[in-house]
Amino acid sequence: MNKKVRKLRPSDYWRIGEHESWFQDMAAKGLHLKKMGMYFAHFVKGKPQKMRYRIDVSLKKKMTPEQIEMYADSGWDYVTGYQRFHVFSSPVELEVPELHTDPAEQSFTLKELDKKLVFNAGMVAVAIILMIGMLSAIWFLDGTPTFVLVEGMAIQQTIITIFIGYLAYISLQAAISIRALRKDLTAGKPIDHHAPWKRHYQLNSMIALVFTIVVGSSAILPFAQLVKGETKTLPESSLDLPIVRLADIEQNLALVRGESSYMRDGVDWDNRYTYNWSPLAPIQYESDENGVVPGKMWGDGSGEYSPSIYTRVYQLSIPAMADNLIADLIKRYRYEYSDDDFVESKHSDLDLLIVHDEDDFKEVFASKGKAVIYVRYYGYADINSVIENILDKIKLITE
């Protein structure tokens, strides 16, 4: 039994002369074409033979038996078809006439294909414009592109959009190439049946490998995030996690956990922590914690003193992203406050420290190396207490 061999196609399907030249070179090495797939050509290994291959274009995907028989009578055997391209072969020694002896007449066989490719290119161009618009909204609508990137929310969509953009480029290139080929044929210039194919083969192989790896990896990304991510009720006792705890800030033994206002899937969402993962931030924590000090009232008399704290923690793969991430976190959480309300302070143990302090509402944004921590605290504790606790926690993710 002859051995079957698959090889990546050298270039795009509309490069007729390059495909013909490639088939001929493969036959000279003993690999004889049997089938053409979307990305691979299927060969059968046999004796090396000098063959001529010609590609004919038809209006339909399947060539009629009458046409195949007519070409066979002229010495051309039907091999396979792909898209609207049909491959015929003939041994060189037979010296049979060309399938098309008049280039101008052959140009008419490409007329319908020309129209179809122009239509396809237009449709793909519209699709990619829509996708770019949607992706731009994800990246830039809130003005926080680094936050979006670090969270990993748009990585897969971006890669897919780039891939579809490449397909749009290919569609446009196909339409332009077939139009140029028709023009040459009309002018009496025949197809070059020995067109060089190696450069496009190497480029095509490299691009295919890159897209296979990148697009394949991006397809795994959402599943990896789903598997790695988890949300649990935050225990009242301290955990060895880089999360700033409310009890450490308050330093009040009378502090107790407040009643939960929202329970789902067995998780107290008023007192929870969530772990997430992304390629650019392999360690991410988000937590909420609420408490009550019985018998103590808010200064404005609005009710029982009930401090709360919200924390976001990131360990970045690229430390240089830290400053931009903090800037995006400020944009995301500043609400009605202005930029002037966020003041940069110097601290010997931190690369960047930005604070927002207004009576019982305090925010701290801090980074050191690849670690970024954001804390939003409601309560009467001093902001220095928040900063000191951040220093203790940030050590857990800087190494």
- 67-103 confidence digits (pLDDT tens): 899 999 999 999 998 878 899 999 999 999 998 888 8
Q: 142 vs 180, which has greater pLDDT?
A: 180
Q: Pull the structure tokens for residue 132.
A: 């770019």
Q: Where are the beta strands (DSSP E) in the chain?
A: 4-8, 31-36, 40-45, 51-57, 77-82, 85-91, 230-233, 256-257, 263-264, 267-268, 272-278, 281-292, 308-315, 343-345, 352-358, 361-368, 371-378
Residue 29, amino acid: K
Whole-number percent of the chain with pLDDT over 90? 55
pLDDT of amino acid 80: 93
Token duo for residue 176: 């332009």
pLDDT band at 127 (very low <50, low <70, confident <90, very high): confident
Give the three-state DSSP class for 341.
Answer: helix
pTM score above 0.85 = no
Q: What is the pLDDT of residues 310-365, one digit of tens each?
A: 999 999 999 999 999 999 999 999 888 888 899 999 999 999 999 999 989 999 99
What is residue 1's predicted lDDT score, i.e. its pLDDT?
A: 54
pLDDT, residue 239, reads 78
Confidence (pLDDT) at 31: 95
pLDDT at 289 over 60: yes
pLDDT for residue 51 is more than 80 = yes
Name the residue among 2, 7, 5, 1 with its Cα closest to residue 19: 7
> How does 354-381 read in b/e, with b if 16+ C-beta sit within 10 Å?
bbbbeeeebbbbbbbebbbbbbbbbbbb
Residue 68 vs residues 85, 89, 156: alpha-carbon distances, Å:
13, 12, 46
Residue whose entry in the numeric block shows the structure tokens 């060089």: 196
The mean per-residue pLDDT over the stretch 191-207 comes to: 88
Fill in the DSSP letter of residue 14: T
User: What is d(CA 141, CA 133) in angstroms, rounded to the nearest whole number?
Assistant: 11
Q: What is the DSSP letter of 312?
A: E
Q: What is the pLDDT of residue 399?
A: 67
What pLDDT is attached to residue 348?
A: 93
- CA 195 to CA 313: how far, in whole Å? 58
